[in-house]
Amino acid sequence: MPNTLYLPELREMLAEGNAAELREFCAALHPASTADFMEGLTAEEAWRVLQFAEMPTRVQIFGYFPREKQIEILKLGDRAEIAQFIGHLPPDDRVDLLNDVDADLVAQWLPLMPAAERRDILRLRAFPENTAGAMMTTEFARLSENLTVREALEELGRQAGELETIYYIYILDDEGHLRGLVSARQLVSAMGKPDTRIGDLMEENIVTVNVDDDQEVVAQKVARYDLLAIPVVDQARHMLGIITHDDVIDVVVEEASEDAYKMGGMMPIEESYLETAFVTIWRKRAGWLSMLFVAELFTFTALASFEEAIQKVIALSLFVPLCISTGGNSGSQAATLITRAIALGQITVRDWFRVLRHELLMGLALGATLGTIGFVRAALTPQSVLGDVNHWTLALVIGQAVAVICLWGTLTGSLLPIAFKRLGFDPGFASSPFVATFVDVTGIVIYFSIAEAYLLR
C-alpha cells in the first residue's frame, strides 16, 4: 500500500518549485524511507523529485523503487540524461535493470555512455542469467602486495569514491590474478605499523566462486563461510568482480520463493502478487492444475478396474479417502524434506541409496503408526455399516493398506526429487501436488489389491 503521508506536500513543493525543501526531503531520510514516501507519485513526478537529490543519494533512492516504476522513469527522461544516470548505478544493478528494458532503448543509451561503462555493461550482460558473472559488480578495492600500510590507505582513499563496498581489499598481481585479501579491520589495526607490507598481512587461503557458478552455489558459500562479499574469478584465477551479501540475500529470497511456488504446484511469478496481471497468474496456475487434473483422471481408471470388489464390499469405498490421503501426505512430506536438502547442498544424487535406506525405515515406522490408527478406526466401524464383512478382517485390510501406502508414498516422495535432479530437471518440480497425484493413483491400486486378497478369496 502506498505511503501517502507526504504526497500532498511533495506535489505542492513540485508545483511551487521549492528546491530547498525538496533537497532536504531527499537528504533527510534513509533512501528506502524516501522511496516509500514517493511510492504514490507518478513516474514523472518521482523523476522530478530525484533531480533535487545529490547523485549518490539519487541512485540509492531509485534503487528502492519497484522495477516497473524504474523502467517508466527511464523511458521518460532525456536520452543523454538517462544514459548519464545509468552510468552512476552500481554495475550489477544497472545490468539487471537493462536486461528488463526494451533492447531498442538500451541501444539508444549505450552510445551516450562513457566507453568504460559501456564495455562493463556489455561484458556483464554476456554472462548467463543466474550465474556468478551475472550477479557480480566490477567495482571492488584492489591493491598490490608490495605497498606498505601507509601507501595502501592513501590508495584506498583515491578508490573509495568509486567503490560499492570496502569490506575486503583484494590483493592482485600485475596481471590481475587474485593473490590474497586483507579486511578493512586488519588494515586499520595495522596503522600503528605503517611500513608493514600488505603482502605480510594478506590472507592467501581465499574462498572464491567461478564466474560460471550457479547463484545457488554462491549463496551456499557465502552462508557457509559467513562472508560479507565473495570474489569472482575465472579458470585462470583472474579476479573479475565481487558479489556482496545484499545481492546474495536477494538470491536467497528469490530461490526460496521459487521453491515455494513449485512445491505448491505452480510456476513462479516474478512480481508481487497484487502487481501481477490476472492473466499471468491464471496461466501459471492453470498449466500445472490442468496437468494434475488429467493425471488424477487415472484414478477413475483404477477404480473402474476394481468395480467388482466395490460392489461386493461397499464398505471399502468408505475408507478410500483415508487411505489415499495418507499416501499423499507422507509423499508430500518426504518430497519437501528431500527437495530442501538438495537445495541446501546437504545431499546429492550420489546419496540416493542412503536416502532410500533412511526413508525405507522411516516409511515403515510411519506406516506402522498410521496403520495401527487405521486398524483401530476400522475395527470400531458398526457391523450394520459393514454388512457381511467381518469388522476384524476389514480392520486388517485398512491397517495393512494404510501402512503399505504410507511406505510407498514416503519412498516415492523421497526418490522423485533425486530422479528429477539426475535427469537434469529442477527437483522443485517434484512438488507436493505432483507426488500426491501420483501416489493417489497408485495408492488406489495398492488398497484394492490388498482388499481383494483378504475379502474376495
Higher confidence at residue 403 or residue 129? 403
Taking the model in full, what pTM does it have? 0.66
Separation of alpha carbons 413 and 336, rounded Å: 8
Closest by CA to 208, choosing from 239, 226, 228, 230, is: 230
The predicted pLDDT at position 211 comes to: 94
The predicted pLDDT at position 366 comes to: 96
Q: What is the pLDDT of residues 114-128, one digit of tens each?
A: 888 888 888 888 898
Percent of the chain at pLDDT exceeding 90: 32
- Number of DSSP helices (H) and strands (E) in the chain, helices first: 25, 6
Quick check: 1 pLDDT over 50? no
Mean pLDDT estimate for the chain: 86
Separation of alpha carbons 238 and 198, rounded Å: 19
The predicted pLDDT at position 386 comes to: 67
Higher confidence at residue 219 or residue 312? 219
Q: How confident is the model at residue 410 (pLDDT cuts 50, 70, 90)?
A: very high
The predicted pLDDT at position 233 comes to: 95
Highest mean pLDDT among 93-107, 401-415, 424-438 belongs to 401-415
Quick check: 3 pLDDT over 60? no
Cell numbers standing for residue 210: 567461478
Q: What is the pLDDT of residues 75-123, one digit of tens each?
A: 887 888 898 899 888 888 888 888 888 888 888 898 888 888 888 888 8
Give the β-pairing of 209-210 and 168-172: unpaired
Least confident of 25-39, 140-154, 322-336, 416-430: 416-430
The predicted pLDDT at position 285 comes to: 80
Residue 236 class from Cβ within 10 Å (0-12 exposed, 13-18 middle, 19+ buried)?
exposed
Separation of alpha carbons 136 and 243, rounded Å: 5
Domains and CATH numbers, the chain: 7-127 (1.25.60.10), 142-247 (3.10.580.10), 297-455 (1.10.357.20)
Helices (H), 29-102: 31-37, 43-50, 55-63, 67-76, 79-88, 91-99
The predicted pLDDT at position 17 comes to: 84
Closest by CA to 27, choosing from 54, 64, 63, 48, is: 54
Higher confidence at residue 375 or residue 216? 375
Q: How confident is the model at residue 260 (pLDDT cuts 50, 70, 90)?
A: confident
Closest by CA to 48, choosing from 89, 102, 12, is: 12
The predicted pLDDT at position 312 comes to: 66
Separation of alpha carbons 451 and 393, rounded Å: 9
